[in-house]
Amino acid sequence: MGMYDTFLLVKSIKCTCGWEQIDFQTKSLDNLMDTYKQGEPAQSYYLRGLTPEEEKERDEDLKKNYPSLYNSPIGKMCGCLTRSDEVRSKIPDGKYNCYTSCMHCNSWIEAEATIKDGIFVGIDVISMTQGEVKKNKYRAI
C-alpha cells in the first residue's frame, strides 16, 4: 500500500450504508504520513525523537494496552518519533484528490480536500460506490 497523508474531518461524511467516515487518505502531497485536521493550518512538521519522559509514557501505554507488543522486539520501535513544533512546509491552497473505503460495507469514496488561505477547510465527495454490508466486529449500526 505504501505511504500517504491523511485528511481528518471534524464532521463526518456518511457512506451509502450510513457508516460515518472521518479520515481520507491522499497521495497528492508528500506521502510522509502527515495528518491534516479540518479547520487547522495545512502544514507538515519535522519529526523528532521522544524525550525520556515521552518514552516512559509510551512504554507504560504499551505495557497496559498492548502487552504482546510491549514484550516484542518491535514494541520499542513503535512511536519512537513524534511531530516537532517546527514547520517543514505549508501546503499550497488548492484541491487535492483523496479517498477512503467503508469498513462496514466496503464502499469506495473518492473526494477532494480543499485548502484555502492555508487552512484545511473540508472535503467534497466526488463519487461513492455502493458496497455490500458485511458482518464483522466493526459493525456499529
Spatial neighbors of 94 by CB under 8 A, at least 6 apart, are 114, 115
What pLDDT, in 10s, does the model give residues 2-58? Answer: 788 999 999 888 888 888 888 999 999 888 788 899 999 999 888 788 888 988 888
User: Quick check: pTM over 0.85?
Assistant: no
Which of residues 117 and 61 earns the better pLDDT score?
A: 117
Which of residues 136 and 93 earns the better pLDDT score?
A: 93
Among all chains, which residue has been given the C-alpha cell 524525550? 51
Give the SS3 label for residue 55: helix
Tell me phi and psi for residue 55, to 5 degrees: -65, -40
Indicate the range of 7-16, 61-70, 91-100 predicted with least confidence.
Answer: 61-70
Give the closest residue to 62 by CA, choosing from 47, 74, 50, 51: 74
